[in-house]
Amino acid sequence: MSAAIPRAAANDAATAPGVRSSAAEGLATKTRSGHVLIGHDLAAAARHGLLGCVDRLDDQGLAGWVVDTRHPTRPQPISIRLDGVEIFGGSAGTPRGDVSEMLGRGAACGFAFRWRDVSPRAPLAPPERRSGELLALTGGGYALSWRVPLDAAAVYERVEFYARRLALVVGVSYAEPPIALDDRALAATEFDEVFYLAMYPQARNGESSALDHFLTEGWKLGFDPNPGFSVRYYVGAHPDVAAAAVNPFVHYLRAGRAEGRVALPPAGFRLETLREQKTLEQVVTLWRRTDTFRALSARSLSQRLDEHLAGRRVRGLAIVFSHDDYTTSVGGIQLCLAKEERAFVEAGHVYLHLSPWQALPVLAPGGAASQLALRVICDGKAIGYALACELLPALTTLREAHEAVPVSLVVHALHGLAPEMVAQTARLLRPERSYFWLHDYFSVCTGYNLLRNQIQFCDAPPPDSAACTVCCYGESRPGHLERMAALFRDVRFTAVAPSRHVAELWRRASDLPVERVLVHGHCTLAEDGVRIAGAIDRELGDGEGAAIGPIRVAFLGHPTVHKGWPVFRELVRRFCSDRRYEFWHLGSAANETLPVRFREVKVGPLYTDAMVKALDSAGIDVVVQWSIWPETFGIAARECEAAGAFLVTSSSSGAVAEHAARPEVGLALPDEPALYELFEGDGLLERVASRRSGGVPVGWLRWSRLSADFAIPRPDAEPERS
Amino acid sequence: MSSVHCFTSFNFNYLAKARVLAQTLKKHHPDWVMHACLCDREPPGFAFELEHEPFDRVTWADELDIPRLDGWLFGHDVVELCTAVKGTMMRMLLQQGADKVVYLDPDIGVLGSLQPLVAMLEQHDVLLTPHQLDPDEERHAILDNEICSLQHGIYNLGFVAVANRGDGIAFADWWEKRLLGWCHDSVSSGIFVDQKWCDLAPGLFGRLHVLRDPGYNVASWNLSRRHVDITPSGEILVNGVPIRFFHFTKLGPVGDTMTQKYARDNFQVYELWAWYRRQVLRHTDKRIPKTWWAYARYANGEPVQRSDRLLYRSRSDLKRSFANPFGHDDDCGYFRWLRNERDKAAV
Q: How confident is the model at residue B38 (pLDDT cuts 50, 70, 90)?
A: very high
- Return the bridge partners of A435, or none: A410, A494
Q: What percent of chain B has pLDDT over 70?
A: 99
Pair A171, A18: CB distance under 8 Å: yes
Is the pLDDT at A596 greater than 50? The verdict is yes
Whether A18 has a pLDDT exceeding 70, the answer reads no
Residue of A nearest to B270 (CA): A271
Asked if pLDDT for residue A140 goes beyond 80, the answer is no
Q: Is the minimum CB–CB distance between B256 and chain A shorter than 8 Å?
A: yes
Q: Which of residues 128-167 of B touch A (CB under 8 A)?
A: 138-141, 144
Q: Name residue B236's beta-bridge partners.
A: B230
CB contact at 8 A, A495 and A517? yes
- Encode A252-284: b = buried (16+ Cβ within 10 Å), e = exposed: bbeebeeeebbbbbbbbbbbbbbeebeebeeee
Interface probe for A, chosen from B261, B271, B283 (most Cβ of A below 10 Å), is: B271
- A237 CB neighbours in chain B (<8 A) are 256-257, 260
CB contact under 8 A, B232 and A461: yes
* pLDDT at residue A97 in the model: 82
Answer yes or no: do B267 and A271 touch at CB < 8 A. Answer: yes
Q: What is the pLDDT of residues B194-214, one digit of tens each?
A: 999 999 999 999 999 999 999
CA distances from A684 to A198, A647, A692, B277 (A): 21, 11, 12, 43
Alpha carbons A577 and A569: distance in angstroms, whole number? 14
Q: Which burial class, exposed, middle or buried, applies to A535 when counting CB atoms under 10 A from its CB (0-12, 13-18, 19+)?
A: exposed
Please tell me whether residue B107 adopts helix, strand or coil conformation. coil
Q: How are strands ordered across the β-sheet holding A61-68?
A: A27-30, A35-39, A145-147, A50-57, A61-68, A108-114, A94-95
- Beta strands A166-170 and A316-321, pairing class: unpaired
**A576 pLDDT above the threshold of 50:** yes
Whole-number pLDDT of residue B53: 98
- Quick check: B232 contacting A, CB < 8 Å? yes
Residue A344 scores a pLDDT above 60: yes
- Give the closest-approach CA distance of A580 to chain B in angstroms: 29
Q: Rounded distance, CA A325 to CA A334, Å?
A: 8
**3 state SS of B234:** coil
DSSP of A376-404, one letter per residue? EEETTEEEEEEEHHHHHHHHHHHHHHTTT
CA B153 to chain centre: 14
Contact A471 B264 (CB under 8 A): no
Measured between CB atoms, which of A238, A267, A275 is closest to B265?
A267
How far away is chain A from the Cα of B272, in angstroms, using its nearest Cα? 6
Q: Does the beta-carbon distance from A259 to B140 stay under 8 Å?
A: yes
Inter-chain residue contact A262 with B233, CB threshold 8 Å: no
Any A CB within 8 A of B235 CB = yes
Q: Stretch A345-353: mean pLDDT, rounded?
A: 96
- Give the model's pLDDT for residue A13: 27
Average pLDDT in the B43-48 region?
Answer: 96
Contacts with A561 from chain B: Cβ below 8 Å = none
Q: Which of B112, B260, B268 sits opposite A262 (nearest CB)?
A: B260
Q: A318 near A351, Cβ under 8 Å?
A: yes
Q: In angstroms, what separates the C-alpha of A288 from chain B's closest C-alpha? A: 21
Chain B residues within an 8 Å CB radius of A453: 271, 274-275
Nearest CA to A90 out of A76, A100, A103, A102 is that of A76
Q: Is A635 on the interface with B (CB under 8 A)?
A: no
Q: Degrees (nearest 5) of the Cα angle A83, A84, A87?
A: 85
pLDDT at residue B6, as a whole number: 98
Looking at chain A, which residue has its C-alpha nearest residue B140? A259
Q: Most confidently modeled of A77-91, A212-226, B263-277? A: B263-277
Determine which helix (DSSP H) or strand (DSSP E) holds A22, and give its type and residue range. none
Q: Quick one: average pLDDT of A474-480?
A: 97
The answer on pLDDT for A160 being more than 70 is no
So what's the pLDDT on residue A12? 27
Range with top average pLDDT, A103-112, A233-242, B36-45: B36-45
Pairing between β-strand B155-163 and β-strand B126-130 as defined by DSSP bridges: antiparallel
Q: Nearest residue of A to residue B255 by CA position?
A: A237
Q: How far is CA B217 from the centre of its chain?
A: 13
Give the side-chain half-sphere CA count within 13 A for A435: 25
Q: In Å, how far from its chain's centre is CA B199?
A: 17
Instruction: Give me the residues of B, 94-113, that contact A with CB < 8 A.
Output: 111-112
Asked if B271 lies within 8 A of A462 by C-beta distance, the reply is no
Nearest-CA distance from A145 to chain B in Å?
22
- Residue A133 predicted with pLDDT over 50: no
Amino acid identity, residue B265?
A: D
Asked if the model's pLDDT at residue A33 lies above 90, the reply is: no
Please provide the average confidence, as pLDDT, over all residues in chain A: 80
Which of these, A684, A476, A455, lies nearest to B271 by C-alpha position? A455
How close, in Å, is residue B60 to chain A by CA atoms?
Answer: 32
pLDDT band of A142, cuts 50, 70, 90: very low
Q: Judge whether A440 and A449 are in contact, CB under 8 Å.
A: yes
pLDDT at residue number A690: 85
**Residues 206 through 245 of chain A touching chain B, CB cutoff 8 Å:** 237-239
pLDDT number for residue A115 = 64
Question: Within 13 Å, how many C-alpha atoms sit on residue A300's CB side?
Answer: 9
Nearest residue of A to residue B256, measured between CA atoms: A237
- Number of Cβ within a 10 Å radius of residue A538: 14
Angstrom distance (rounded) from CA A2 to CA B190 = 50
- Chain B CB contacts of A267 below 8 Å: 263-267, 270
What's the mean pLDDT in A50-59? Answer: 65
C-alpha span between A527 and A546 (Å, rounded): 31
pLDDT at residue B214 in the model:
98
Residue B324 at interface with chain A, using a CB cutoff of 8 Å: no
SS3 annotation, A627-644:
CCCCECCCHHHHHHHHCC
Is the CB of residue A360 less than 8 Å from the CB of residue A415? Answer: yes
pLDDT at A459 over 90: yes
Are A258 and B140 inside 8 Å of each other by CB?
Answer: yes
Q: Summarize the confidence of residues A527-545 as an average pLDDT.
A: 51
Any CB–CB contact under 8 A between B272 and chain A?
Answer: yes
- Is residue A695 scored above 60 in pLDDT? yes
A–B: how many Cβ contacts below 8 A? 98
Q: Cα separation of B101 and B117, whole Å? A: 10
Tell me the C-alpha distance between A703 and A381, whole Å: 22
Q: What does the pLDDT read at residue A117?
A: 64
**pLDDT higher than threshold 50 for residue A213:** yes
Backbone torsion region of residue A84, taken as left when φ is above 0, otherwise alpha when ψ lies between -120 and 50, otherwise beta: left
C-alpha to C-alpha distance for A719 and A157, rounded to whole angstroms: 45
- Kindly report the backbone phi and psi dihedral angles of residue A617, in degrees, each rounded to the nearest multiple of 5, phi listed first: -70, -30
The closest CB to that of A274, out of B233, B266, B271, belongs to B271
**Helix axis angle, B267-283 to B253-263, nearest 10°:** 160
- Interface check B63 vs A, CB under 8 A: no
Taking the CA atoms of residue A110, residue A115, residue A116 and residue A120 in that order, the dihedral angle to the nearest 10 degrees is: 120
Residue B238 is predicted with a pLDDT of 98
Per-residue confidence band for A136, with pLDDT thresholds at 50, 70 and 90: very low
Give how far the C-alpha of residue A703 lies from the chain's centroid of Cα atoms, to the nearest Å: 26
Angle at Cα B329 formed by Cα B325 and Cα B331, nearest 5°? 55
Closest CA relative to residue A435, chosen from A377, A507, A492, A483? A492
Least confident of A321-330, A601-610, B66-75: A601-610
Which one has a higher pLDDT value, A121 or A676?
Answer: A676
Cβ contact, residue pair A466, B263, below 8 Å: no
Of B186 and A329, the one with more pLDDT: B186
Q: What are phi and psi of B219, to 5 degrees?
A: -160, 175
- Sign of the C-alpha dihedral, residues A600, A605, A606, A612? positive
C-beta of residue A654 within 8 angstroms of C-beta of residue A634: yes
Q: Please give the model's pTM, rounded to 2 decimal places.
A: 0.81
The letter for the amino acid at B248 is: F
Interface of A with B in 272-291 (CB under 8 A): 274-275, 277, 279
User: Which residues in chain A are contacts of B253 at CB distance < 8 A?
Assistant: 239
Three-state secondary structure call for residue B14:
helix
Band of pLDDT at residue A69, cut at 50, 70 and 90 = confident
All residues of chain A having their beta carbon less than 8 Å from the beta carbon of residue B23 are: none
pLDDT grade, residue A179 (50/70/90)?
A: confident
Closest partner residue to B270 among A238, A271, A465, by Cβ?
A271
Amino acid identity at A72 = P
For chain B, positions 202-231, list CB contacts with chain A under 8 A: 230-231
Within 8 A of A458 by CB-CB distance, chain B residues are 230, 232, 234
Q: Which residues of chain B does A268 touch, with a Cβ-Cβ cutoff of 8 Å?
A: 265
Cβ atoms < 10 Å from Cβ of A25: 24
Question: Which of A14-18, A268-272, A358-362 is modeled with the greatest confidence?
Answer: A358-362
Burial of A135 (0-12, 13-18, 19+ CB in 10 A): middle
Q: Which of A565-569, A713-717, B246-250 has the lowest mean pLDDT?
A: A713-717
pLDDT average, residue stretch A276-297: 92
**Residues of chain B by 3-state class (helix, strand, coil), percent to 5:** 45, 20, 35
A455–B271: do the CB atoms touch at under 8 Å? Answer: yes
Positive or negative, the Cα torsion across A314, A315, A320, A324? negative
Say whether pLDDT at A450 is over 60: yes
Q: pLDDT digits over B215-243, tens only?
A: 999 999 999 999 999 999 999 999 999 99
Nearest Cα of chain B lies from the Cα of A223 at a distance, in angstroms, of 22
Q: What proportion of chain A, given as a percentage, has pLDDT over 90?
A: 56
Chain B residues in contact with A258 (beta carbon < 8 A): 139-140
Q: Which amino acid makes up residue B183?
A: C
Q: Note whether A512 and A488 are within 8 A (CB).
A: yes
Q: How far apart are CA B207 and CA B203, in angstroms?
A: 10
Is the pLDDT assigned to residue A542 strictly greater than 50? no
